[in-house]
Each structure stands twice: as C-alpha cells, then as structure tokens.
Amino acid sequence: MRDITGHTCPSCGGRHDDPPLAYRTAAPAHWTDALAEDPNSELTPDLCVIGGRHFFVQGNLEIPILGSADVFTWGVWVSLSPASFARTTDLWDEPGRESEPPYFGWLSTELPGYPVTTLNLKTNVHTRPVGHKPLVEVEPTDHPLAVDQRTGIPLTHAHHLADLIRH
C-alpha cells in the first residue's frame, strides 16, 4: 500500500504532513503595536477597537474544499459600524444570537495567495451560536477570494495556501 498522506512543498521542496486547514490572523491590518498603549484602543482574540472610532470582529471565512466535506478557514478581521459592533457585543453571550440578520462589514485582513488585495472587500458577517466565531461571507464578485468561497478550491490549492503561510 502506498503512503498518500502529505505533500511536497513548492516553497522549500520538503515533504510535509497534510497541513492544518485553518489559519488565523492576530489583528486587523490597521492595528500597530503602538496602539497597545492607547487607552482608546483594545485588541482581544475576538474584538478590536482602534482609537475608539474603528471597530472590528474576528470571524471565519470558509472556503469549501472540492470533493470533501472539509473547508479551508481563514480567521479574518472585519470592520463593523459602531451600531453593528455595539449589537454584536450586547449579544456576545446571548443564546439565540444566531437569529440576528447579518451585519455589513469591510474585510480588514490581507490574505496571502491572492493576486489582488483582499483588504476592503465587502462582506456580510453572520452571527453564530455562542462559542462560535461569526461566519464571514465575501460579497459575490469576480474577486478571486469571492470566487474561491463561492465555488470551492481543490485540496492542492489549500496546501498551496498553507505553504505560503508556513514559509
């Protein structure tokens, strides 16, 4: 029987076990280390406020993997309006919050592997049950990220994205 797990990395030429299918960014693209000293700014694993004027939530942008029940998940940041952010935080621990309509937001994470920027793509943020990060849906345009989310990617492309992140 032949071993079919793993893949050869095009970046380093080495053989890797199959990579994880989820990657998360620590902060929105607009965050800088200097903001940690600003009393009007805060960064947690789920929420971010910059200067008391810009509001972000972290969510999962899921891309189906063709021929599989798996998804490739980007942990991304999305800016929300002050009202949507307030509603999100008000309902943070409330059972049934997933019945909320989606919130409009701007993608605030630059993702590797795309030929054009992923910053400022229009999104809908779908609240999920307590304990689950929101689902981020990119507006259905011809942007490669939107196409990937809508149509799915082969496992080899998921490995390519993982290799870009790991190297």
Taking only the tens place, the pLDDT of each residue in 123-167 is 999 999 999 999 999 999 999 999 999 999 999 888 888 777 765
Phi and psi torsions of 105, nearest 5°: -155, 170
β-sheet bridge partners, residue 24? 75
**Is residue 85 predicted with pLDDT exceeding 70?**
yes
Report pTM: 0.86
Q: Are 68 and 50 in contact (CB under 8 A)?
A: no
Residues 38-47: pLDDT tens digits?
A: 999 999 999 9
If we measure between CA atoms, which residue out of 71, 72, 63, 73 comes closest to residue 145?
63
If we measure between CA atoms, which residue out of 56, 48, 46 comes closest to residue 105?
56
**Is residue 121 predicted with pLDDT exceeding 80?**
yes
| Domain extents in the chain | 22-152
Residue pointed to by tokens 């994205």 = 161
